[in-house]
A and B are shown apart, each in its own frame.
Chain A
Amino acid sequence: MSDIEDMLSVTEPKVDTERALARLRARVEGEHIAPVTRSGSAPRRIGVNIWLRGLAAAATVALVATLLTVSGLAETILTIFEPKLLVAVPITVTDLNGAASFGAYGTLTWTEQPKPYDVPDVRTAAHDSGMTVLVPGNLPAGVGAPHYGVMNKTTATYTFSADKTRQAAAALQRTPPPMPANIDGSKLFITGGPAVVAYYSDSTNTTGATGATGASPFAGMPTLIVAQGRPPVVQSDGVTVEQLQSYLLAQPGISPQLAAQIRAIKDPSSTLPVPIPVDMATSKKVTVQGVEGIFVGDSTGLGSAVIWQKDGIVYGVAGTLTEQQVLAVANSLH
C-alpha cells in the first residue's frame, strides 16, 4: 500500500442500493423532478472539465469567430477565405434567432473532429500545437497559475444541398430563394486550429471550481484566459465567396442592417468578422502588440476581451478584468 493510499484509506461503506434507489425515487416524485429523455444535440463533454469552460469563454472573444455565431451565419458567409484582418460586426439577438442554422443548407462532415484536451504545461502545449506559445509577463493581482489546453487541428467538409435547404425551410414554414445550381452539391473544405488556451483561475477562490452540482452558473469561470490559434481557412471546389454571400444574405431572417454590414466588408475572403452582440457588449479598435485589435467589453463592465491577429496567429485575452488590465496582459505576452 502506498503512503497516499494509506492516508486516504477509509472503511468500505456498506451500501444498500435498493434502499438508496427507493430514497431517490421518493425524492424525485416528492419534488416532481422530471427526467431528461433526450438531448437536442451531442452532449458537451462531461461538463466538469474546467478547460472546456475556458475554451467556451475563449470562443466568446471570437478566437474562432466562425464557431461563435451560433446561427451559422458567419460560417456561411466567411467561406472561401484566409483571414488577415479582423472586423467587428454588430449582431443582435434577432439576427441570431432569425438566421437559419448552417445545417439547413447542407451537411457538415468532420474529417478530423475537434478534440480539446488538457496538457500539463506550456512546453507540452507548444509541442502539441506546433506554435510558439506566448505567456504573459504581467498578471493582475489575484490571478492564479494557469492550466493549459490544446485544440488539435480540425478539418471538415461541408456539402451544400438544395433539397436539404428546401426541407429545412419548409419545416420552419419559410420560403427561401432557390439555391443556385452551382452552389447545390458544391463543397467547402474547412480547416481550423490548432489552438492553445491558458486558463487562469482566481488564486483566492478555493471553492470547487468545477462542481457538477454547484448552484452558481459562474462557479469555475476563469479569471483570465489567454488563447491563440491558427485562424480558420476555407477552400471551395468551385463556388466563390461572393456567390455564397449573395445567396445567403438574401435568406429570410437576415436583417437588412446585418446584410449591409457584411456587404460593407471590402475583402470578404481575407476578413474575419468578429460578431459583437450589441445587446450585451460594446467594441472599439485598440492597438495591441503593435497591431490593430478589437477590444470587447460586456455591457456590465464586468468582463473585457481583446482579440488581434499577428504573424498568422489569432490571439485573444479575456477575463473578468478591466480594460486596462486586459490590455496590460495582452501587451505583456512574449
Chain B
Amino acid sequence: MEVADRLRLTASPGPGIPPAFEALFRREYARVVAIAHRVVADADEAEDVAQDVFVSFYRKHPADAHYAAPWLYAAAAHSALNVLRSRERRGTRDAVEAIRRDAQTPDPAQAAETAETRSEVRAALARLPDRSAALLALRYSGLSYEEIAAALGLRQSSIGTLLRRAEDAFRREVTT
C-alpha cells in the first residue's frame, strides 16, 4: 500500500451529519460529558470538551469505526485534562470560579468550601502524569478495566497495577 493510501482519508463532499455519526453521538455523548465533567468539575466546560471531541472524531474517523467509543473516552479524558491544566496555569481564582458554578448548593458558604476543595483536588489531578490522570478519570467515571485498556491502549492485566500507582500518586499530590 502506498504512503498516500495509508494516510488518505476520504471526505464526503455533501453537507449534513451522516446517520451513523448521529447514532454514535446519541449513544456516547452523555458518557463523554461525564468523563470530562469528572476532570473539570464544571458542566459547561465538560460539554464544550465533549463537543470538541466529537468534532475531532468527525473530522478524522468514520462513525462506524470499531474503536469509536474507546477513542472518544480517551480523547474526553485527555482534552479535559488539557482544559484543567490550562485553567490551573491561569491561576487559582479562575479554577475556583469555574468549579463554584458547578457546586450546586443553596448555601453560599458551603458552595465556596466545596469549590475550594474540588479546586485543590483538580489541581492535584492536573499535576499527575497524563496517563495516571487519564486512568483515574476513566476509572472513576465508571469505565471497566477492559474499557480503560481499550481507550488507553494498555494491556488489561496491567490496569490494576497502573491504577493503584496512579491512586497512590494522586493521594500524595493531594496532601502536598
Residues of A that sit less than 8 Å from B by CB: 3-5, 7-8, 10-15, 17, 20-21, 23-25, 27-29, 32-41, 43, 45-52, 70-71, 96-97, 101-103, 117-120, 124, 147, 206-214
Cβ-based interface call for B151 (8 A)? yes
Query: Which of B17, B38, B78 interacts with A8 by CB under 8 Å?
Result: B38
Contact A21 B78 (CB under 8 A): no
List chain A residues, Cβ under 8 A from B103: 11
Main secondary structure of the interface of B (DSSP, over half): helix
List chain A residues, Cβ under 8 A from B7: 40
A17 and B17 CA atoms in complex are apart in Å by: 15
Given A4-B140, A36-B11, A118-B153, 10 more contacts at CB 8 Å?
Answer: A23-B51, A39-B61, A40-B9, A45-B153, A124-B158, A208-B85, A209-B130, A212-B78, A213-B53, A213-B56
Residues of B that sit less than 8 Å from A by CB: 1-3, 5-13, 15-18, 21-22, 25-26, 29-30, 33-34, 37-38, 41, 43, 46-47, 50-56, 58-63, 65, 67, 70-71, 74-75, 78-79, 81-82, 85, 102-104, 118, 121, 125, 127, 130-131, 134, 136-137, 140, 150-155, 158, 161-162, 165, 167, 170-171, 174
Contact B37 A10 (CB under 8 A): yes
A330 CB, nearest partner CB in chain B, Å: 26
Contact B61 A13 (CB under 8 A): no
Residue of A nearest to B166 (CB): A4
A2 and B57 CA atoms in complex are apart in Å by: 33
The verdict on A46 contacting B153 (CB below 8 Å), with A36-B11, A214-B82 known, is yes
Contact A50 B131 (CB under 8 A): yes
Contact B25 A24 (CB under 8 A): yes
The verdict on A35 contacting B153 (CB below 8 Å), with A15-B29, A40-B5 known, is no
Ordered by A's residue number, 26 sampled pairs between the chains whose C-beta atoms are within 8 Å are A14-B43, A15-B30, A15-B33, A17-B29, A20-B47, A24-B25, A24-B58, A28-B58, A35-B59, A35-B63, A36-B58, A36-B60, A39-B65, A40-B5, A46-B70, A46-B151, A50-B131, A52-B153, A71-B2, A71-B3, A118-B154, A119-B155, A209-B130, A210-B131, A211-B75, A213-B75
A49 and B70 CA atoms in complex are apart in Å by: 12
A41 and B3 CA atoms in complex are apart in Å by: 10
Query: Which of B1, B8, B34, B150 interacts with A13 by CB under 8 Å?
Result: B34
Contact A38 B62 (CB under 8 A): yes
List chain A residues, Cβ under 8 A from B12: 34-37
Contact B130 A210 (CB under 8 A): yes
The 7 closest A-B pairs by CB, nearest first: A49-B153, A212-B75, A34-B11, A13-B43, A117-B155, A208-B82, A40-B8
List chain A residues, Cβ under 8 A from B43: 11, 13-14
A213 and B103 CA atoms in complex are apart in Å by: 28
Residue of A nearest to B127 (CB): A206
A182 and B7 CA atoms in complex are apart in Å by: 34
A49 and B77 CA atoms in complex are apart in Å by: 13
A96 and B62 CA atoms in complex are apart in Å by: 28
Contact B79 A47 (CB under 8 A): no
Contact B79 A41 (CB under 8 A): no
Most A CB atoms within 10 A — which of B2, B74, B151, B171? B2
